[in-house]
Structure 1
Amino acid sequence: MGRSSNSALVILAFFAIYVIWGSTYLLNKIAVLELEPFMLASCRFTTAGLFIFILAKFMKIPLTISKKQLLNTILAGVFFLSFGNGVVVWALRYVDSGFAALEISAQPLIILLLMRMLQGKKIQPMSVIGVILGIIGIYLLVSQKQIIAQKESITGMIMIFFCMLSWAYGSLFVARADLPTNYFVNTGYQMFTAGLTLALMSLAFGEEWSSPLDWSGKVQWSMILLVVFGSIVAFTSFNYLLKAVSPEKVATSTYVNPIVALLLGWYFLDEQITVQSIFAATILLTGVYFINTKKTLAIFERFKR
């Protein structure tokens, strides 16, 4: 009975990191076409952070952390969520959700290169092949005529690249930072403080805030799904899987998320899937497979979005 229950939990958790994380691109795209991007991200993460604090109280998990841990969670929240996610939401106004997911799937490549440049870590032979394939895949993805021809698409693409740099640097930062030992508490502080930072960013850019009561039904549902499933359920599932199965199996979400995002964007938003995009995705994801060796998995999988 226990083993059967465990298997069911593992299957549900994989569904969460495969489908739910893959769908967040579509949900953000739907919402950002109507709402201001930083306001949208701020509402999502502030609400999710508050929910996590409430759940922690119910589960009798202490929320007390040191001043140093608070500062580090704020910095991690900025790297991962305020800039790393908030600016992606902004970029989704100008690029397709499937394209954004494909570009972000190259995240392990960026982390590996930063580890080499900032920490002098040697890149393993298999990972070198992965880097080469990844660069070729990214080039094929972004060199398509319909992207180069649109100035706004290029801007969105470049900003997503900077978001990836922010995520990669954040991954290296949290690997050495003093953070709350309970991942639930750690996530709660990161999300809540990032939500506040995003609110400040929204005000600085002069965004117009609106009441959730004034949002359309599809945007209200998108926000609910982003908060409950995209932020809380999927992240909890991710951390559960890191303990229940091997990191290599958890890493398969890297390959599935962009495919889910591409299909959902095509089905619900009529986003175009070109032959070159499919070819680029195949090469890029093959490169990510080579990069995801056991030596680089630990840092990537622990701090992945």
Structure 2
Amino acid sequence: MWFIGKVVFMSKSQNALLIVLAFVAIYVIWGSTYLMNKIAVHELPPFMLASVRFSVAGLLIFVLCKIMGIPLNITKKQLLNSMIAGFLFLAFGNGFVVWALKYVDSGFAALEIAAQPLVILLLMRILEGKKIQTMSVVGVIIGILGIYLLVSQNQVISQENSVLGMVMIFFCMVSWAYGSLFVAKADLPKNYFVNTGFQMFTAGIMLMVGSLLIGETWTLPTAWSSPVQYAMLFLIILGSIVAFTAFNYLLKVVSPEKVATSTYVNPIIALLLGWFFLDEQITTQSTIAAIVLLTGVYFINTRKKLVLFSRFSSRYSPKED
């Protein structure tokens, strides 16, 4: 946990290397989580997998807070809001993505999720009446075209339950988008670690309840294969703790536009890793769809002020007490 301690406490003058490491984290680690989830879901039930990941990560964050002297005090309203955010982001928003990975390739899922800024923009228009700027309108049109090219491939729709998986990922994006708008206004713990810890832990409990209700079979880690054990460790330590910490750190020390570049890099990392390790096919149409879709996301993110990222940063940046 040396990296996390450094991220929280070192001053900006000492941060050149940490900034590079943080970008590597949000580029490579987050891009790799699709592969790790795909590996694990071949052997583990999806909701059990997500439950273990987030509940253990939440507990580890609580331990880190104790070590760093960060109080875990939280009001009832903050706890309720943390639970709502945890459901929107993690229990539903991530848990069902893991479920969908049973039916779609990891690289394909990453590309579809790259349309997240498009969904957020549309929700801001529908729910908050925010005017969509000209560049963003262009981005939405291009993004919709990219999504169509992505999901209309015969190689994709011919796979069993692939359409169901694609639809579920879309609803997960809506959940994430609404969650992003919710946390911008909700009363949540101001400290990032405390907030994230409660969101992850409560989401893990929700996923556990859902897993047991639908009759998933739980097994001990000792019964898992070595690849699944390594994948779970990666998801808990790197995907859930280090990458989120790096993301928050970057929002504090560099411009939101630079942090938003992870939107373009994560799908490429996921596609390449899925192709290399899982023999997932990268079709010509997928490549064209990726270029078109990411171009649309680029147009959306090139507004002079990234409202969502600015609000997210002000909400989640660690407070120096």
Tell me which interval the TM-score lies in, with the shorter structure as reference length: over 0.9
Q: Which runs of 5+ in 1 are unaligned?
A: none
8 Å Cα contact 1:251/1:297 also seen in 2: no
Counterparts of 1:7 and 1:32 in 2: how far apart (Å)?
37
Q: What are the superposed Cα offsets for residues 171-215 of structure 1, whole Å, 9 maximum, x if unpaired?
A: 111111000000111000000000000001101111000001100
Task: State the shift of 1:149 in Å.
Answer: 1.8
| Residue type at the aligned position of 1:24 | T
Equivalence for 2:90: 81
Match of 1:185 among 175, 194, 204: 194
| Residue type at the aligned position of 1:159 | M
* CA RMSD between the two structures: 1.6
Equivalence for 1:282: 291
8 Å Cα contact 1:247/1:298 also seen in 2: no
Q: Give the TM-score taking structure 1 as reference length.
A: 0.97
Match of 1:65 among 49, 67, 74: 74
Counterparts of 2:208 and 2:312 in 1: how far apart (Å)?
23
8 Å Cα contact 2:22/2:250 also seen in 1: yes
> Alignment partner of 1:12: what SS?
helix
> Alignment partner of 1:207: what SS?
coil
Q: Percent identity, aligned pairs only?
A: 72
Equivalence for 2:267: 258
8 Å Cα contact 1:91/1:160 also seen in 2: yes
Equivalence for 1:158: 167
Q: Given the superposition, is the C-alpha separation of residues 190 and 87 from structure 1 closer, same or farther in structure 2, using an over 3 Å criterion?
A: same
For these two proteins, the number of residue pairs brought into alignment is 304
Q: What are the superposed Cα offsets for residues 17-69 of structure 1, whole Å, 9 maximum, x if unpaired?
A: 00000000000000000000000000000000000000000000000010000
Is 1:51 matched with 2:63?
Answer: no
8 Å Cα contact 1:108/1:300 also seen in 2: no
Task: State the shift of 1:297 in Å.
Answer: 2.6
Equivalence for 1:96: 105
Task: State the shift of 1:147 in Å.
Answer: 1.5
| Residue type at the aligned position of 1:110 | V
8 Å Cα contact 1:250/1:301 also seen in 2: no
| Residue type at the aligned position of 1:13 | A
Task: State the shift of 1:123 in Å.
Answer: 0.2
Task: State the shift of 1:294 in Å.
Answer: 4.5
Match of 1:202 among 171, 186, 211: 211
Q: Which runs of 5+ in 2 are unaligned?
A: 1-10, 314-321
Equivalence for 1:30: 39
Is 1:124 matched with 2:124?
Answer: no
| Residue type at the aligned position of 1:76 | A
Runs of 4+ in 1 over 6 A off after TM superposition: none
